[in-house]
Amino acid sequence: MFTAESGWVRRRASVVPRVAGGVRQQQGGLLARGAGAADGPATGVSQPTQGRGGGGKKEETLMRLDERDLRQRKFTKGMKQLGYRGGWKAVRGLIAEAGRVGLPLNVICLNAAMSVLARSGRWYEALDLLSMMRRGALLVDVDGGGDGSGADQGTGFREPRVEGEEASSSTMLVLPEPDTITFNTAITACGRGKKWKPAVELLDSMRREGLVPDGFSYSAAITACKNCGQWETALGLLDDMRMRGLGRDRHSLNAAIAACASAGRWKPAMEILEGMETKGPSPDVFTYGAVIDT
């Protein structure tokens, strides 16, 4: 007796050999590329030149930079070196220290700080920093102490309050406006913190700020939905990408398939796979692996 359910089961069983073949093909391609890299450097790729003039050019470049640029680059480099374990705890303190020494922070510096929070999955702190950048100002305690009423103890900065409340030992740190990278990194932080609602809401916040979400914005939001098992919202974001004229990228599609897999929804996962095989982009190992997991 043939039923709709048995028909889908047969269809799924017929796809398994095709999926397995795709996995083997992808693995073979990866091995071939790895073997080619082991044989030697690819032709046509320029190799770094060596000579006595290299160091002199670097010194000339550094001489053209003013002290502020050098200090901003040092701040950004320090943020990138914080690492994954516990580095997020030093973010606010470093921003406060920049205010105490009078170092203006550009958006690159604060995006580096946001990246540290995203890598650690500190979604609440990332949204807090984003909110401060949108306000454009931060009150820094010069003595480095908290006031016990809303300040972050030990870091010495807090949000500016009503006019006239600023103490003589405090200074105002002007923050740049967030850009697309800032929002994308904040969305990534929400995804790693398994907070899909704030991640999706940030897409609308970008539009209110006059920014246009790009493919990475949607990809990060879809990944957040995947981490929380929100497969319907992930599919809705894919449709929104198509209506807004954004190209289909493999990472977003793989994340949507993984979201369906986490909820056991293999039918929409198969539909996405078939669309990738016919319209592109071509599936990879992660695509087939996610389909098999459904």
Same domain for 89 and 111:
yes
Q: What sign does the dihedral 280-284-290-294 (CA atoms) show?
A: positive
Same domain for 219 and 202:
yes
Per-residue pLDDT at 233: 96
Judge if pTM exceeds 0.75: no
Domain-embedded: residue 17: no
Same domain for 153 and 74:
yes
Answer whether residue 24 shows pLDDT above 80. no
In terms of residue numbers, what domain contains 215?
179-294
Cβ distance 222 to 235 under 8 Å?
A: no
Chain segment 77-96, per-residue pLDDT in tens? 877 777 555 677 788 888 88
Q: What is the side-by-side order of every strand in the sheet holding 157-158?
A: 157-158, 137-141, 170-174
Chain segment 257-267, per-residue pLDDT in tens? 999 988 889 89
Q: In 3D, which of 69, 91, 70 has the Cα closest to residue 82? A: 91
Instruction: Report the alpha-carbon distance of residue 2 to residue 4 in Å, rounded.
Output: 7
Total count of domains within the chain: 2
CATH of the domain at 185: 1.25.40.10
Same domain for 195 and 283:
yes
Instruction: Report the alpha-carbon distance of residue 28 to residue 163 in Å, rounded.
Output: 66
Answer whether residue 200 shows pLDDT above 90. yes
Domain-embedded: residue 5: no
Confidence tier at 18 by pLDDT (50, 70, 90): low
Chain segment 111-141, per-residue pLDDT in tens? 999 999 998 889 999 999 999 999 998 877 6
Per-residue pLDDT at 31: 38
Same domain for 245 and 208:
yes
Chain segment 162-177, per-residue pLDDT in tens? 454 444 467 788 899 9
